[in-house]
A and B are shown apart, each in its own frame.
Chain A
Amino acid sequence: MSTITWAERRSLAVWRRRGSKVLVYVALLAVTVIMLYPFWLMGQASLRSLPQYYLGRGFSLTTWHALFAALPIGHEMLNSTLITLSSILVILAVSTTGGYALGTLRYRLSGLVFLVVLASMMVPVQSMIIPEYINLAHLGWINHYYGAIAVYSALGAPFATFLMTTYFRRLPEDVIEAALIDGVGYGAVFFRIMLPLAVPAIVTVAVLQFIQIWDDLLVGLLFLQTPANRTITVGLETIPAQHFQNFPMEMAGSLVSALPAVLVYLIFQRYLIRGLTMGMSK
């Protein structure tokens, strides 16, 4: 090594850095292909009829026609939209008020209530879904929008309330105290001061829940069993049973069902990332 001049050594280092940069890009592109492949597959396979798919070439809209003939896609999308948005509204209503109470107002037992909220975050769906199903069946809430909305809201509320509570805790208290001293009521403080300040946290909760509820299968499978009220994800799951081994149709259905959540992801990605990282900082 001692025979190499300083200039030579520097150019060697430059080359090594360039080489490793190329390697890094190769690795990143490989991961990109692995991550995007399913989306490409959805587009490609759905544009082939079943024989074309097995042949491996040709394009047609046969599969798309068959999909819309086999499933009430429009209706299922509407169901998904109504159920998802209603659940988000309920979750936002209870988590902002709850977060305001537990994060800002606080009272004698609010610490304990917050602990209960934390604990209910850890309840796995499967551990409560059996009695939940029986209870709502007794009430006659199966196969109604409101049954599913109630379950989705309850499942989403703990984390949303946790997020809102920690968010409100960080807001400066003197603003609120000043408003209260000025004779503004608790309700007015909530609506005029707290809610506008909480918009970023509200968007975060809405985006997280949108993806969660839109993509859910289990609750839909149990609480929305008829084609008239089931969501697009539940409808999608029935394709293999109806059309055995029809992969192009599975992919066409997948594409339709994935589109809204992917769009929400692309538009609100920043908030999604924030929600994820907020979950760990307390």
Chain B
Amino acid sequence: MGILFTLPVAALIGTLLLIPIGQTVYYSFTNWDGFTSQWIGFAAYRHLFQNPEFVTVLENNAVMVLAIPIAIALPLGVAFLLNAQLRGWKFFRSVFFLPTAVSWVVIAFVARRFFDPDKQGILRSLLDHTGLGFWHPDLLAHEHSALIAVMITFIWSVFGTNMIIFLAGMSTIDQEIYDAAKVDGAGSFMVMVKITFPLLKRFVQFAFVISLITAFSALFSLIIVMTNGGPGYGSTTLEFFIYEQAFTENNFGVGATAGVILFLLVFAVSMVQMRMLRSDE
């Protein structure tokens, strides 16, 4: 009987997720062009890693990882402020979490204007108004800085999600621990460093993994609208490379090979996370 109730979900996931991922693995060893394919074995992977563009793409992914500590530290600090449950904290929580509801396309439109160096550029007018008008950075125009603009936008977007994770974590900490610390004369900074953060380890790990998976596999829409992967390959990450190879260059085989690499990366990160959760229990 249980098997019968499992059938719908098994059929759906099987045909539309598991078979395609199996096909991706198979085609990753071929020179597939969407119609015909020839088995070329591990040569496909060798070609890919010898491709300097692909190496740039992997480097971009590595650089994206650098955004994650900031994407965790900022919401962690703000969650700590909100956790004191000052008047109006629920309002702030709603506002900070609101960008979660907005699509990457919308965020990318605003971000493009934010980094635009012309007079309507938001960053530029901010600099002008704070006496830094002599400096007009044009992050999106340069190969080595476009990714920084993408990373800043990413940090803004995941702020709310990570804050919610930390608030959930803080609500699991017993109030008595705080009271005891106060009786012992600990200031709020000491409480944050010595009590809150260590007890939040599991939640920080979770936020880290979620942010990393987002950075590696959910920024396609942001990148295509904000930078289209450029200039050059400056802001092309692995997931964008896969789309580009397959759907604009018609290199379906290369896309599949890169798809397997992305899958392995995300899978490895998830497995590490599961391990950590289990070892804590």
Contact = CB atoms under 8 A, between A and B. Distances in A.
Interface of A: 20-21, 24-25, 27-28, 31-32, 34-39, 41-42, 53-54, 90, 93-95, 97-98, 100-102, 105-107, 110, 113, 116-117, 119-120, 122-135, 150-151, 153-155, 157-158, 161, 186, 190, 211, 214-218, 222, 233, 236-237, 240, 247, 250-251, 254, 257-258, 261-262, 264-266, 269, 272-273, 276-277, 280, 282
Nearest to B277: A282
28 contacts: A24-B84, A28-B92, A36-B95, A41-B113, A53-B120, A90-B12, A113-B6, A124-B263, A124-B266, A129-B20, A130-B256, A131-B27, A135-B19, A151-B16, A153-B12, A158-B17, A211-B100, A217-B221, A217-B224, A240-B109, A240-B225, A247-B120, A250-B109, A257-B103, A258-B101, A262-B101, A265-B100, A265-B101
Contacts of B195: none
B103 A258 contact: yes
B87 to A, nearest CB: 9
Contacts of B97: 265, 269, 272-273
A254 B102 CA distance: 9
Nearest to B125: A56
B9 A161 contact: yes
Interface majority SS on A: helix, strand, loop or mixed?
helix
B9 A277 contact: no
B50 to A, nearest CB: 22
Interface stretch (B53-61, B135-143, B239-247): B239-247
Contact of A280 (B16, B86, B165, B216): B165
Given A24-B84, A28-B92, A127-B24, A277 B270 contact: no
A101 B266 contact: no
Contact of A54 (B12, B27, B106, B120): B120
Interface of B: 1-6, 8-10, 12-13, 15-21, 23-24, 27, 34, 78, 81-82, 84, 86, 92, 94-107, 109-110, 113, 119-120, 122, 156, 159-161, 164-165, 168, 188, 202-203, 206, 213, 216-217, 220-221, 224-225, 238-239, 242-243, 246-247, 252, 255-256, 259-260, 262-263, 266-267, 270, 277
